[in-house]
Amino acid sequence: MERTNHMEYMEGMEQISPEVMDEIISRMNAYDYNSYTEQDVRRALAKDNLSPEDFGALLSPAAGPFLEQMAVKAQAETRKHFGSSVYLFTPLYIANYCENFCIYCGFNCHNKIRRAKLDEAGIEKELKAIAETGLEEILILTGESRHMSDVRYIGEACRLAKKYFKMVGIEVYPMNSDEYAYLHECGVDYVTVFQETYNSDKYETLHISGHKRVFPYRINAQERALKGGMRGVAFAALLGLDDFRKDAFATGIHAWLLQRKYPHAEISFSCPRLRPIINNDRINPKDVHEPQLLQVMCAYRLFMPYAGMTISTRERAGFRDHVIGLAATKISAGVSTGVGSHGEEEEQGDDQFEIADIRNVEEVCSAIREQGLEPVMNDYVYL
């Protein structure tokens, strides 16, 4: 099968200036994490405002022995800017149809799983069930299929979500800025996009076909969302797909560049690691263990102290409880990555990946309070 050029836009894809993408890739390619020394790490830890060079030092192997000092400083920064608050949300998968062939994802179009798409009544049933747990923020997700989950379908789901939740986010396929503007009118507050890996050569080998194969369209999604009026955008690499230090560095630089270009934007990070998927239990994080993940999170916090940070149910409960006391500011609860499993006894569509923390909202709230922190459902006031 002849593959399309992963650097060329497909018909209908909005093209914006490549300046941000070019700078991310240039800085990432120049990042040699093995060149940093103990002195570089100490210098970075002594600063109040970190440069990209300092950020690189804190992600380097040389920073490994300083993880405790990084965690202490990260905790102080988190408390300074976020107090004792830890925000809660849950994801809602409304469809799992996908048109992409991404070899690491359970939703990929060649994986033989149960596919499902909730209708309006099914979506509202799910929303009601989740709202009854006390949550006030929801993240709407679909598989990446414009045919089965078009922009209007997602928009109507978000209009329904706004009836029950004060904060609505989306994690769907990348769109053009006018489509993001439409979804913003439907009530969407923020957009999350996982770049997966910033190494374009590796990206090509992982994304065999589909719109997701187009590297520049994906990497510019957050900027198009901001151009469309979204209040916030979240950034993530799927750590373990490639060299996690380079991917974490590129993620931080991406967020930093857009924060400078759009100072009003609310910036946040997600910190996912690769997890096993249906029909492939051999997929596991490569060289990204809990100490490395904590190092990445602390480096993000010290580099961008105002940024939100989410720790997902991909991680075990004990680790999640630990990092909300240090760097993370948002945690998911009562999670299912299948379709139709909140309002129904049995889910209609299979899960995207395996989760590690299956606690409900009440259990997560209790764990937060045991840390001396305060679970917060929402703190945003619309005037």
- Give pLDDT tens digits for 159-184: 999 999 999 999 999 999 999 999 99
How does strand 207-209 pair with strand 232-237? unpaired
Q: How far is CA 169 from CA 304, 316, 363, in A?
A: 21, 24, 23
Q: Is the pLDDT of residue 67 over 60?
A: yes
- pLDDT score recorded for residue 246: 98
Q: What is the dihedral of CA 28, 189, 86, 256, to 10 degrees?
A: 20
Q: ∠ CA 139-202-15 to the nearest 5 degrees? A: 60
Sign of the Cα pseudo-torsion (280, 286, 292, 297, in order): negative
Position 5 in a domain: no
Whole domain around residue 345: which residue ranges?
Answer: 20-376
Answer for the pair 187, 158: CB distance below 8 angstroms, yes or no: yes
74 belongs to a structural domain: yes
pLDDT, mean over the chain: 91
Task: Tell me whether residue 318 is in a domain.
Answer: yes
Q: Read off the pLDDT of each residue in 352-358 and give the average, rounded to a whole number.
A: 72
The count of domains in the chain is 1
Determine the average pLDDT of the residues in 29-38: 98
Most confident of 64-68, 140-144, 315-319: 64-68
Quick: pLDDT tens for 193-217. 999 999 999 999 887 877 888 999 9
Inside any domain, residue 383 = no
Q: What is the percent of the chain with per-residue pLDDT over 70, rounded to a whole number?
A: 89
Rounded Cα distance, 238 and 245, in Å = 11
Residue 1 within any structural domain of the chain: no
Q: Strands, E, within 59-216: which ranges?
A: 85-93, 101-102, 137-141, 167-171, 190-196, 207-209
For the stretch 119-135, pLDDT in tens is 999 999 999 999 999 99
Residue 350's pLDDT is what?
46
Question: Which of 137-151, 162-176, 328-342 holds the top average pLDDT?
Answer: 162-176
Q: Is the pLDDT of residue 39 over 70?
A: yes
Identify the pLDDT of residue 376: 96
**Could you tell me if residue 14 is inside a domain?**
no
Region 79-85: mean pLDDT is: 96
What's the pLDDT band for 283 if we cut at 50, 70, 90? low
Residue type (1 letter), 212 = K
How far from 188 is each of 154, 168, 331, CA to CA, in Å?
10, 5, 19
Residue 381 lies in a domain: no
Q: Give me the CATH number covering residue 103.
A: 3.20.20.70
State mean pLDDT over 281-298: 82
Residue 144 lies in a domain: yes
Please give the pLDDT value at position 279. Answer: 55
Listed range (38-42, 207-211, 273-277) with the worst mean pLDDT: 273-277
CA distance 178 to 305: 31
Q: How confident is the model at residue 348 (pLDDT cuts 50, 70, 90)?
A: low
pLDDT greater than 70 at residue 351:
no
**How far lies 174's CA from each of 83, 156, 160, 214, 262, in Å?**
33, 17, 21, 10, 19
